[in-house]
Amino acid sequence: MALSDTAIRALKSVERNLKVADGQGLFLLVTPSGGRWWRLKYRFDGKEKLLSLGTYPDVGLKAAREQRDEARRLLASGIDPAENRKIQKSARALRAANSFEVIAREWFAKYSPNWAETHSTKIIRRLENDLFPWLGARSIGEISAPEVLACLRRVEDRGALETAHRALQNCGQIFRYAIATGRAERDPAADLRGALPPARPGHFAALTEPGDVGALLRAMEAVSAGFVVKCALRLAPLLFVRPGELRTAEWSQFDLEKAEWRYFVTKTKTEHLVPLASQALAILREIEPLTGEGRFVFPGARTNGKPMSSGAINVALRRAGYATRDQQTGHGFRAMARTLLHQELGVAPEVIEHQLAHRVPDALGSAYNRTKFLKERRSMMQIWADYLDRLRDEVAETE
């Protein structure tokens, strides 16, 4: 006789286990402790088996019968319901282990030690507020470009377009990490180029807090980049020239014996002299055996006939985990040097401005002189390089 909810509720306590049948192998196991367990008895490959279907009243009579019917459909197809449950449980565990949130947090844990604390905080908040609530539980290999775009639209709709662009950048980094570690096959974020309106450009982003600069330098040392680009990246903060002047630097402009680099400033069309600190000389001597026979210190990857691309430095910075829109750009090393040389090292502003190749009128009316303050500038460049080394080597307590 089939069970009913009324009959189940009327069952009294028992002294030993009691099986109350419902039909087609389904029964309710009543225990002396008061437990009421749904069980399904079936045969597979000639062997009798039991399948647990939950407890009453959490699993009601109707739900228990639906589970029984599903199990019988599997049996009719030659599938063991118990084994199928194990497979489904394993698949769910695999999807959970490969979820967007799990992999994103793994990516964050791997790379954040090389980031400034403020940068790390912004990224994890962005992930937790704008991405995890909608993508976090999804298997990363199943996420589509429209799903990512829907998250970005929510951010854009609240007027945070810059944040939407940064969230897209973070998604791309996470998907590429998943590809590299065998958890995904493609990056859907790459399909969203141009899907967001361009962010309004502002000043060149630059870090100017000593602790943040130290973390940036450590990230730059650890970033994965080609040798030529990596050398240019390491020189950028040491020389703080304009990015276009660095990437188009020619060997004929350098005198490594005198520790000097002379070239014409593209903006002012004036000759400029950059004293080279010992650290800068060491980097140039590292790359000289590779590119010294050619024209450019930093030739392009495809041919020695042209310098490296204009975006190479910024690409390397983004690989190091820094947003070039609002954290650090190649051009931003100039603002970094101008701020820290004066505020932290006490260098006179006019000395700094001359090294930046800015026009600085003086009492005599001269706008710029490439040799003015040359002695002070030589000293400054070495002091600056030593200071950057100290910042790089000092690991802040908060990191």
Q: What is the CATH number of the domain that holds 337?
A: 1.10.443.10
Same domain, 367 and 235: yes
Say if residue 57 is preceded by a cis peptide, omega within 30 of 0.
yes
Q: Does 201 map to a domain?
A: no
Q: Give the distance, in angstroms, between the CA of residue 264 and the centroid of all CA atoms in the same chain.
A: 38
| 379 in a structural domain | yes
The end-to-end CA distance of the chain, in Å, is 68
Q: Which residues pair with 274 in a beta bridge?
A: 261
Catalytic residue of the set 262, 358, 370, 378 = 358
* Same-domain status, 89 and 21: yes
Position 178 scores a pLDDT of 93
Task: Evaluate whether residue 13 is within a structural domain.
Answer: yes
If asked whether residues 188 and 46 sit together in one domain, one would say no
Regarding whether 307 and 231 lie in a shared domain, the answer is yes
Asked whether residue 120 falls in the same domain as residue 249, the answer is: no
* 208 or 361, higher pLDDT: 208
Determine which one of 89, 186, 267, 306 is catalytic: 267
* 303 and 276 housed in the same domain: yes
Question: Active-site residue 267, yes or no?
Answer: yes
pLDDT tier for residue 303 given thresholds of 50, 70 and 90? low
- Residues constituting the chain: 399
For residue 366, what pLDDT is reported? 47
- Assigned token pair, 296: 């450019």
Residues 137 and 249 in one domain: no
Count CB atoms within 10 A of the CB of residue 362: 11
Highest mean pLDDT among 47-51, 82-86, 229-233: 229-233
Whether 368 sits among the annotated catalytic residues: the reply is yes
Q: Does residue 215 sit in the same domain as residue 359?
A: yes
- Average pLDDT, whole number, for the chain? 87
389 vs 95: which has the higher pLDDT: 389
Catalytic residue among 68, 119, 234, 242: 242
Establish if 377 belongs to a structural domain: yes
Give domain status of residue 267, yes or no. yes
Total Cβ atoms within 10 A of residue 211? 18
Catalytic residue among 42, 177, 322, 368: 368
Q: Are residues 237 and 333 in the same domain?
A: yes
Residue 358 designated active-site: yes
In a domain, 205, yes or no: no
**Residue 296 and residue 378 in one domain:** yes
pLDDT band at residue 387 using 50, 70 and 90 as cut-offs:
very high
Q: How many structural domains is the chain composed of?
A: 3
Residue 364: band (very low, low, confident or very high) from pLDDT cuts 50, 70, 90 = very low
Among candidate residues 133, 159, 192, the one where a domain is terminated = 192
In angstroms, rounded to a whole number, what is the distance separating the alpha carbons of residues 65 and 88? 20
342 a catalytic residue? no
Question: Active-site residue among 331, 338, 354, 392?
Answer: 331
Q: Which residues are registered as beta bridge partners of 272? A: 263
83 plus 149 within the same structural domain: no
Question: Residue range 276-291: average pLDDT?
Answer: 96
200, part of any domain: no
Distance from C-alpha of 234 to C-alpha of 240, rounded to nearest angstrom: 11
105 shares a domain with 90: no
SS3 per residue for the chain: CCCCHHHHHCCCCCCCCEEEEEECCEEEEECCCCCEEEEEEEEECCEEEEEEEEECCCCCHHHHHHHHHHHHHHHHCCCCHHHHHHHHHHHHHHHHHCEHHHHHHHHHHHHHHHCCHHHHHHHHHHHHHHHHHHHCCCEHHHCCHHHHHHHHHHHHHCCCHHHHHHHHHHHHHHHHHHHHCCCCCCCHHHHHCCCCCCCCCCCCCCCCCHHHHHHHHHHHHHCCCCHHHHHHHHHHHHHCCCHHHHHCCEHHHEECCCCEEEEECCCCCCEEEEECCHHHHHHHHHHHHHHCCCCECCECCCCCCCECCCCHHHHHHHHCCCCCCCCCCCCHHHHHHHHHHHHCCCCCHHHHHHHCCCCCCCCCCCCCCCCCCHHHHHHHHHHHHHHHHHHHHCCCCCC
| 28, 61, 94 - which closes a domain | 94
Residue 139 is part of a domain; what is its CATH number? 1.10.150.130
Name the more confident of 119 and 203: 119
Residues 326-346 have pLDDT tens digits of 789 999 999 999 999 998 999
Residue 343 belongs to some domain of the structure: yes
Give pLDDT tens digits for 146-201.
999 999 999 888 777 888 998 999 999 999 999 999 989 999 999 998 899 886 55
Q: Which of 94, 109, 126 is the last residue of a domain?
A: 94
Catalytic residue among 334, 338, 354, 377: 334
Q: Let me know if 92 is a catalytic residue.
A: no
* Average pLDDT over every residue of 276-303: 93
Confidence grade of residue 268 (pLDDT, cut at 50, 70, 90): low
Alpha-carbon span 20 to 39, nearest angstrom: 10
Domain span at residue 56 reads 5-94
